[in-house]
Amino acid sequence: MPGHASRPLVLVAAAAALIAPGCSGSEARGRQLYAERGCAVCHGAKGRGDGPSARRLDAPPRDFADVRGYRQGASQRDIAASIRGGGGAMPAFRDISESEAGDMAAWIVSLQRPGGGSGGRP
């Protein structure tokens, strides 16, 4: 297929663009996985609950910066468990390894801090 060989380079370039200075390695990998796994479709590119599919969902996706909305806990461990096991309207993503879920959770937790980690706050 034409262009098939360049696909990995495009993915690497896109992932590198998403990784902001100041992220830990785990947070950077988590943000990359978040993008690759399509989480932004519901939760938005910066985890604000404003993805393109958000308006069509019965239950609005969580704004990761708002700790009050976490029903299953807001710690990295709790979030990783929610990613893999699902909860509420979010389906379980059992194909994501514990390590990957932990990295994604590290990035999500970074959004809870003032300045919002690599996702930033307006």
Q: Write out the chain's pLDDT in tens, 122 residues.
A: 444 444 443 343 444 444 444 568 999 999 999 999 999 999 999 999 999 999 999 999 999 999 998 989 999 999 999 999 998 889 999 999 999 999 999 999 999 988 765 443 33
**pTM of the predicted model as reported, rounded to 2 decimal places:** 0.75
pLDDT at 89: 86
CA pseudo-torsion sign 119, 60, 105, 67: positive
Domain 43-122 class in CATH: mainly alpha
- Domain boundaries, given as residue ranges, for the chain: 43-122
pLDDT at 114: 82
pLDDT at 113: 85
pLDDT at 88: 85
In angstroms, rounded to a whole number, what is the distance separating the alpha carbons of residues 14 and 107? Answer: 17
In angstroms, rounded to a whole number, what is the distance separating the alpha carbons of residues 2 and 117? Answer: 38
Nearest to 119 by CA among 12, 10, 40: 40
pLDDT at 24: 82
